[in-house]
Amino acid sequence: MTLQRFDPFLELRRQIEALSERSDSAPNLSSFSPAVNTRENNDAYLIQIDLPGVDKDAITVDLKEKVLSISGERKFEEEVKEEDFYRLESRYGRFERRFSLPDNTDPEKIEAAYKNGVLTLTLPKVQPKGAKQISVQ
């Protein structure tokens, strides 16, 4: 009987390599989650969603009970054959992202623009009613 040094990460490395081999051999057409950038300025909240390769008509923006939903599908146009690709890292399929709107958002004035594969949503802020600055004498 020979002694073998214990390596606690050996099995983990084997599992990761097995997963990697499986994911490299066939393209993944079912998981696409677009990257999102959010920011705020004095007048509005801005949401930018990276949607390269997504047709403008395939994007849906809905607002229901202060929840903004962006959904659509990035389609793979060609027939996929394993021998056609060395590596395919792009993801395809349906996607949906949801955002809860802050209370000071004006839902009637939300704007959406799509340019160069980036969807930009502008969510204007509601100015507080009756707010005014009072000068000190």
Nearest CA to 114 among 43, 59, 39?
A: 59
**What does the pLDDT average to over 93-104?**
87
Is the full-model pTM beyond 0.75? no
- Of 49-53, 61-65, 81-85, 126-130, least confident by mean pLDDT is 81-85
**What does the pLDDT average to over 4-16?**
68
Domains belonging to the chain, first-starting first, are: 33-124 (2.60.40.790)
